[in-house]
Every structure is written in structure tokens, then in C-alpha cells.
Chains A and B, each alone.
Chain A
């Protein structure tokens, strides 16, 4: 599982940088990638479940769906931002802590740019995943079956 999620962020989205491998190793070893993955998979699943099966509003329109998609994306992004900050800046990896404390290493500057990148990637992924969930979950929804279309 770690490998799959690491591949997504490091290879697909090309975040891997061999000069700062300590960060990526830490995210890999301390389940950071797992948490990122769970964020963009599980959070939209819960939120879209609420949208299709708990929200009993019979006048739902396309813009309600679109709004929910944006809210889901933002929510996932914020959660990812928090997780990334914790995983990188409050880690137990002493080597990484030392590197971040060393201003000449350039680690700190690079690390500070990463949480936002992970948040953005997860935000985008949650949109893709959310759309797929919509197509699946609407099949069994009584009230919102007509959304998004």
C-alpha cells in the first residue's frame, strides 16, 4: 500500500527529489503516504455517502453537487495540509530534524513547499475520486439519483 501511494506522489506527480530523500523516506516509513491516500479516498467516500444517502433534500440541483465537490476537495486539502505538516515537521526521524535545523542544507525551504503541494494533489485526486463515487453511489440513492446529471 505504501508503495502504491508513494508512486502516486513521487512518480506520477513528480515530487521526488533525491537531494531531499530524508523527507520522502520519512513519509514512507512513518505511514505519511498511507494517511495521504486514506485522506483522498476515505474522506470523499464518507462525504459523498452523506450527500447521496443522508441528505434528504429533494430539490437538489447540479450546483449543489458541484458545491459539495468543491467542499470535499477543500476539506481533503486542509486535512492533507495538516497531516503533511505533522509528518514532516514533527517527525521522529532525528536525521530529518537535524537536516531541517541546518539552514545550509536547504531542507527547510524545500520542506515548507511540500505540504501545499500534497494538499493540492489530494484536492485534485478527491475531485476525480468524488466524481467516480458519485456515479456509483447515485445508482442506489433514492433522493439524489439525478445528480450530477
Chain B
């Protein structure tokens, strides 16, 4: 039976891990154990957050492309949907539905949100008073604007996020949940939104009777990944990255007592990095908070694959897992990952990298020249002509969807390469040595250019399974390159490590 995986991404880290997941899924990675549909749910009061909006844009593009591929079997194979699409059975793609709305957080300060001004100053004559509240929240907390998040303050987050299970979106989530579905929660332990949101969300999933289908949700498989500090900030202000580690220790202790020891979660993954970390540009939130993609976020996405793969082995006891790599390196290549992770990502990522680089660098040489890009071949059967002609590559669908998504993909890889530790499995490539792209896997074959991809495309273009229709116009491109890059990888032995796995 096809199952669904609901992924809650809390805060900026949640968004960024979901972005990495979308990239891996676009590359053809897939969840095991019949998880056919992924429903990303982003919980972040910081609606203007750059990371959040970039992730929403990527998810929207993913859906738009996938919706226009007939039975995708490689790139974009996994289905991504919003809760709204599930409840309304609507095919309309709207990226706003990837985010759960929090009521009353727009344009209000934390003090206004909790009604601080309506509290009494006189503690002797009143049941509630401002002074007690001041013990829990600083003036800065009370005056803090909620539309940029909780600025690393979980004490604020815990109060505001406690209401999101009452929202319409959350009720819709409950309505769509069926037996066999599973939940995965992504959060960071050192910030504000994630650190506060994770235990709250888990508590509600395990027992809030106001949620529809709570009986099913309560006993469902739930996994989570918690990020320990993995970056620092270049400035100390309202958010001080020096405090990340202390905050993480306190939170771990709390999680240990209230979640792990009480077996509230089936699997919990910890991931972090100490020492060799990047100093990111300081931003409390909003559109300025747009951090470069980080290897650890992709590793977090791998935890989701691991969770689904091992879901049937899960016991009633919480399983705690940590992510590690084989070689402690400042520049991580595929060979530094453990064999399972290599097997999971090396081939799909390399295929998609080839695909996206080809469209940028290789296509101009082939367009309207190579047989697979020609739709006006004379004296042959009509079926021999290609759908992928100049007109297709000039179409708005190609430019706005495929090109835009691939731009995000290459940006994502480049950002991981620029970060610390760097994930840099590929060389910079040009047309002439395009197949020499995987570090440590230099090909010995004579043809190292993009030419073998064009050759494969020519051979495969007439495959009946790759035919586009007006409603599925990306079928040919996506399926063709899924197969042609696969053939090139095999024939040119581009991933010897992968072969050995």
C-alpha cells in the first residue's frame, strides 16, 4: 500500500533540510518501504525568511515539473504534495500551502501576543501580574517582533507554537492521516523556533485529542532529526552563536528526560559539527536570513531515507542515531561518506548534476543540430521527430520551471562547496571535460565531453515511454536524461566507487 510521509520542518533549519531533500528527490533518490508521497510542512512564524521562501519556491517548482511528467521513474520520481492538495484533491500548485500558518504573529510583538499590557502591575491584588511574566521574559523578548521568528529564544517559541495544533492547517493534516503513514520532524536544538517546536509538536502528536485521527497518529511511526550547532554567526547581537552550545546541552538534557527516556519517538537522529564551522552572515530573520546550503542539511535529508528504510525494524524503544562520515575531511567527497550514503546519493546526484550542467553548457551545441533536438526530419515516420526542439527549449514552461529548478540545484551544490566543511564531490566542468566531473573518479575514456550524452539522447529519443503530451510536456526531457545520464555513467565508469558498493 502506498504510504505518506509527513515531514515537519521547524524553523530555518527545517526549511533548509527540506530543500536538500527536494534536491535529492529531484535527482531520483526515493524513499523505501512504499512511501510514495511526501508532505512537507514548514512551521515558521518568520514568513519573510529567505530560506523559507527559497524552499517553498523549490518545492513549488518540483511539483510543477513533476505534474508535467507522465509516470516519472527516475528524476522527480517521488511525489510531493501539500496537505491542502490532499484534502481538496486539487491539482493547483500553491507554495503557500507548504507552510502552516500561525495565527496572530504578523505585525505583533511577543508582549502583545501574550497580552502583556493587559496584565496587572499590582501583584498583591491581581491573579496575574507583569512582574511574574518579567521573570520569564526579558524586555527585549517582550518587545520582539514575532514576524521575524523567535531570534533564538525557545522560551518565546514554546508559548507561541503551542497554538499551532489548533489551526485549520493542522486539522487538515489530521484528516488526511491514515494507517501506515509516518511522521518526521526536523528541528535545530540551538535556535528558537526549532528547539521549542519539536517537543511541543511531538507532545501534541502523541496525545492531543483535538487532532482528527489522533488514534492513528498517536501510534504511528515518528522520527526526528535534531541539529546540534553546526555553524556560527559573524556578529554577536540579539542572537549570539557563542550560546548555541550551552543552549544545545540544556535542550538535550530536556529531550533526554521528556522524549528519549519516555520513548515518545521511534527514532531520533542527532547531527552537528564542531570546530571547522562556517561563520554565516548575521541575520535575526526575515529575507536577510538566507544561509548558504550546508552539507549537514543534506545529511539530515539522508536521515529521512534511513528512517523510512528501517521503519519496519523499529521497536517501542527510542532509537538514537548519529550521523558520521568515514574520513574527517575539510572537503568532503563521495569517498569520504560511508558506503550506504554513497550508494544513496552518489549516482543520483551525479546524474542530475550532469543533466543540469548539460542544459547550461552542452545544449547550445546540440540544439537544432543533434537529431534528438530536431522536429522537422523529412522522409521519416512522424514518431521519429523529437518533441525537444527549439520551440520546447524556448517555452516558458522550460524556462520558468526546469531552468529555474536547475539553477537552484546548482546553487545548492555550489553553496555546499563554499561552506565549511565543504561538500565538494565535483570539479568545475566545461564542455570538453564534462565527464571528468567526479573527484577521484577521473574517466580514462577518450570521450570526456558532453558528446556521449548527445549520443545516448539520439539513441533513446524515440522510446515510446518518453513521449510528451501537451499536458505532460516535460516527460521527454526528464525521462530521456534520466536514462541517458544513467547509460553514460555506466559506460564511462564515472562512479567506480558506486560500482564497488
**A positions within 8 Å CB-CB of B:** 56-61, 135, 138-139, 142-146, 149
Contact = CB atoms under 8 A, between A and B. Distances in A.
B379 A143 contact: no
A132 B237 CA distance: 79
Closest 6 CB pairs of A and B: A58-B454, A146-B371, A58-B370, A142-B459, A143-B458, A146-B377
A135 B379 contact: yes
Question: Which of B384, B454, B458, B459 gathers the greatest number of chain A CB atoms within 10 Å?
Answer: B458
Given A142-B459, A145-B384, A59 B378 contact: no
Contact of A143 (B377, B384, B455): B455
B365 A59 contact: yes
B455 A58 contact: yes
B377 A145 contact: yes
A139 B454 contact: no
Interface string B443-458: 0000000010011011
Contacts of B378: 149
Contacts of A138: 379-380
Interface in B361-378: 365-366, 369-372, 374, 377-378
Contacts of A144: 371
Interface in B416-469: 451, 454-455, 457-459
Interface of B: 365-366, 369-372, 374, 377-380, 384, 451, 454-455, 457-459
Secondary structure of the A contact surface, majority rule: loop
Question: Which of B380, B451, B459 gathers the greatest number of chain A CB atoms within 10 Å?
Answer: B380
24 contacts: A56-B455, A57-B451, A58-B366, A58-B371, A58-B454, A59-B365, A59-B366, A59-B454, A60-B371, A61-B369, A138-B379, A139-B379, A142-B371, A142-B459, A143-B458, A143-B459, A144-B371, A145-B371, A145-B377, A145-B380, A145-B384, A146-B371, A149-B377, A149-B378
A143 B377 CA distance: 12
Given A143-B371, A146-B374, A58 B458 contact: yes
Nearest to B384: A145
Given A135-B379, A139-B380, A149-B379, 7 more contacts: A58-B457, A59-B370, A59-B451, A139-B379, A142-B458, A145-B377, A145-B380
Nearest to A149: B378
A86 B374 CA distance: 47
A149 B380 CA distance: 10
Contacts of A142: 371, 458-459
B154 to A, nearest CB: 58
A58 B369 CA distance: 8
A145 B380 CA distance: 8
A47 B355 CA distance: 34
Contacts of A146: 371, 374, 377
Question: Which of A56, A60, A146 gathers the greatest number of chain B CB atoms within 10 Å?
Answer: A146
B387 to A, nearest CB: 15
Contacts of A139: 379-380
A139 B370 CA distance: 16
Nearest to B379: A135
Question: Which of A56, A135, A142 gathers the greatest number of chain B CB atoms within 10 Å?
Answer: A142
Nearest to A142: B459
A138 to B, nearest CB: 7
A108 to B, nearest CB: 48
A61 B454 CA distance: 14
B456 to A, nearest CB: 9
A25 to B, nearest CB: 43
Contacts of B380: 138-139, 145
Nearest to B454: A58
A60 B374 CA distance: 12
Contacts of B371: 58, 60, 142-146
A143 B371 CA distance: 6
